[in-house]
Structure 1
Amino acid sequence: MDGLKETLVIWSAELRRAMRSGRAAVLLGLYSMFTALVLLVIGWIAREIRNAVNQQLANAGADMDAPVRIAEEGRKGILGFLIGKDTALLEALAQVPIEVLLVFKVTLFFLPAYVALMGFDQISGEVGPRSMRYLTVRARRSSVLLGKFLAQASLLLGLVLIIDLAIFTFASITNPDFGFAAMSLNLIKFWLAAIVFSLSYVALTTLCSSLFRSPAVSLVFNFILLFVFWLMDTVGKFVSDESALRGLRYLSPSFYASNLLHPKLTEFGVSGAAYAGFATIFLLGAYGALRARDL
C-alpha cells in the first residue's frame, strides 16, 4: 500500500472514530455554548447602547437622522479598532453586522485553545500505551501522522461550519438588512478564514502530541506555546517601531489573522501562505519527533 492510500485509510478510520466518540459532541457543545454566550452578551450590549443613544436624542429633540449617523460613526470606530484602517477591508465588511465581527474576533482568539483540547492526545494517546506500534507495522509513520492530522482538521472544519452557520443565521434574523445573498457570501469568507487560521494550530497540536508520551504533558506544553505566541504578538504590537522586539510579532501565527478577510487576493494570499508555512514547519517537526521516537 503506497503512502497516499495509507494516509486515506488512517484518515477515514480516525475520523469515524472521532465522530462516534463523545468528545466530538462535548466539544461542539462547549464551542456552541461559548459562542452563544458571547453573541448574546455582545448583542445585548449593542442593543442597550442603541437604546440609550436614541433615548438621549429623543429627549434632546434631535433630528430623526441623527441616530443613523451616530450608529454609522460608532460602527466605523469599532471596525477601525477590530480590523484597522484599510479602506478596502472596511468596504468589504460594510454589510456584515457588527455583532458577527465581534464574535468572530473573540472566537478566533480562543480557537487555538479549542483546537488543543480537541486533539492533544492524537499521537501521545497511542505512543504512551504503545498501541502506536501496531499502526506503524502496517503503515509508514508519515502516513500515520498525516492521517491523524487530516482527521482532526476535517472534524474541526465541520464543527466550525456548524457554529458559523448558526451565527450568520441568527445575524440574518436579527438584522433585516443582512439578506440571504450577503449572508451566504460572508459565511463562506468567514468559514474559510477560520479554517486557514486554525490549520496551523492543528499542526501545532500534532507537534506537541508527538513530542511527549503523556497526553497531559502534551496539553500543558501546547498551552505554553500558545501563550508564548500570544505574548510575542502582543509585545510586537505595543513596542515602539524602533525596538528590535517589534519583529517578534512576525514569528506569531496570530499576527497574520487580520488579512484573512481581505477582499484583495494578494493580501489574503500573504496571510494564507504564512499559515501554510507555520503548518508545514510544525508538521515537519512532528514527523521528526515521531521518526526519532522508539515506539
Structure 2
Amino acid sequence: MCTLDGLKEILVIWAAELRRAVRSGRAIVLLGLYSMFSALVLLVVGFVTRELQSQLNAGLPGSTMDPDMAAQAADQMHRGVLGFLTSNDSAMMEALAHVPIVVLIVYKITLFFLPAYIALMGFDQVSGEVGPRSMRYLTVRARRSSVLLGKFLSQATLLVGLVLIIDLAIFIYARILNADFAFGVLVLNLLKFWSATIVFSLAYVALTSFCSSLFRNPAVSLVFNFILLFVFWLMDSVGQAVSEQNVLRYLRYLSPSHYSGNLLHPKLAEFATSGAAYAAFAAVFLFGAYGVLRARDL
C-alpha cells in the first residue's frame, strides 16, 4: 500500500509540474533555444557538406576527373568522415553507412552541448522550491522522495518531447537534401538517434536534480552545475589524452560523456554497457539528491 501511495504521489507531482512548465511558456522558450542552436549547426554543416559534395561531383577546377572518379572520391570522403565520427568501428560504420553525414555531425555537436542545455532547463527544479520555502507545503502532503522523482520525471518528459521535435526536423532536413535517404531508413535511424539521446540525457537530468537540491539559490545551483559539467569534460579529455600506461587514463571512466560513443552501436552488448553506465550515473545523482533533501531543513 505504501508503494502504491508513493507511486500516486509521484504521478500527481509529475503531472502538476509538467502542466506548470508548459503553461509558464518555459517549454516554448526551451524549444526555441534548442531549435535555434540546432538549426545554426545544421545549416553550417549542411552548407559545408553540400559545397564539398558539389566540388567533388564537378571535379576540381582545371582537373580531368571524370564522374566515376568524383563519385569514388566522394564515397571515400564519406567513409573517412564516418570513420572519424565512429572511431573507425567497422560495425558502426556499416550500420550508419546510409545515414547522411550531416545528421551524424549535428548529433555529435548537439550531444556535446546538451548537458548545458539540460542545466539551463532545470537548474531551479528543486532550489526554486527550497529557496522560498514552498517545498515544505509539498512535503507535508507527499514524501520527499516522491517530490524529487516527480520533478525529475517532469523535466525528463519535457526533454523527451523537445528532443523528438528537433530530431524529427533534422531528419526531415536531411531527407530533403539527400533524395537517396530512404523513408524506412529515416524512421529506423530517427528512433535510434532519439533513443540514444534520451539515454544520454537522463543522467544529466539527474545531475541537474542533484545540483538543484544542494543550494537554496537557483543561480548558485546553475553555476555549480556548469562547474561539474566542466570537471566531467576535463576528466574525459585528460583520460583520453594520456597514454595507456598513465594511471590518469582511468579518469575517463568517471565521466558520463565517455560512454556516449556506443549509444548508436548495432551490437546489443555494446549499447547495453553504455546504457547501464548512464543508468548507474543517474541512480547515483538521484540518490545524492535524495540524501541532501532528506537531511536538510526545508
Which TM-score applies when normalising by structure 1? 0.98
Q: Between 259-268 and 68-77, report the one with greater CA deviation.
A: 68-77
**Counterpart in the other structure of 1:50:** 53
CA distance in 2 between partners of 1:58 and 1:185 (Å)? 39
> What are the Cα deviations for residues 175-219 of structure 1, in whole angstroms up to 9, with x where unaligned?
001011000000000000000000000000000000000000000
Select 1:247's aligned residue among 246, 250, 257: 250
Q: How many residues align?
A: 295
1:67 aligns with 2:70: yes
Contact kept, 8 Å, 1:149 with 1:206, in 2: the verdict is yes
Contact kept, 8 Å, 2:126 with 2:213, in 1: the verdict is yes
**Counterpart in the other structure of 1:100:** 103
**Counterpart in the other structure of 1:141:** 144
Structure 2 unaligned runs (5+)? none
**Counterpart in the other structure of 2:36:** 33
**Counterpart in the other structure of 2:229:** 226
Letter in 2 for 1:151: S
Select 2:186's aligned residue among 167, 183, 203: 183
Contact kept, 8 Å, 2:45 with 2:105, in 1: the verdict is yes
1:23 Cα offset (Å): 1.6
**Counterpart in the other structure of 1:265:** 268
1:58 Cα offset (Å): 6.3
Write the mapping of 1:83-122 to structure 2, written as runs, cut at 5 A: 83-122=86-125
Select 1:21's aligned residue among 10, 20, 24: 24
**Counterpart in the other structure of 2:201:** 198
Contact kept, 8 Å, 1:57 with 1:67, in 2: the verdict is no
1:6 aligns with 2:46: no
**Counterpart in the other structure of 1:166:** 169
Contact kept, 8 Å, 2:119 with 2:226, in 1: the verdict is yes
1:151 Cα offset (Å): 0.2
Percent identical among aligned pairs is 71
Contact kept, 8 Å, 2:138 with 2:147, in 1: the verdict is yes
Structure 1 unaligned runs (5+)? none
Letter in 1 for 2:207: L
CA distance in 2 between partners of 1:143 and 1:259 (Å)? 32
**Counterpart in the other structure of 2:285:** 282
Letter in 1 for 2:30: L
Write the mapping of 1:122-133 to structure 2, written as runs, cut at 5 A: 122-133=125-136
**Counterpart in the other structure of 2:294:** 291
User: 3-state DSSP class of the match of 1:65?
Assistant: helix
> What are the Cα deviations for residues 102-132 of structure 1, in whole angstroms up to 9, with x where unaligned?
0000000000000000000010000000000
1:282 Cα offset (Å): 0.2
Contact kept, 8 Å, 2:6 with 2:143, in 1: the verdict is yes
Q: Between 101-110 and 54-63, report the one with greater CA deviation.
A: 54-63
Letter in 2 for 1:201: Y
1:52 Cα offset (Å): 2.9
Letter in 2 for 1:187: L
1:56 Cα offset (Å): 3.9
CA distance in 1 between partners of 2:59 and 2:65 (Å)? 9
Which TM-score applies when normalising by structure 2? 0.97
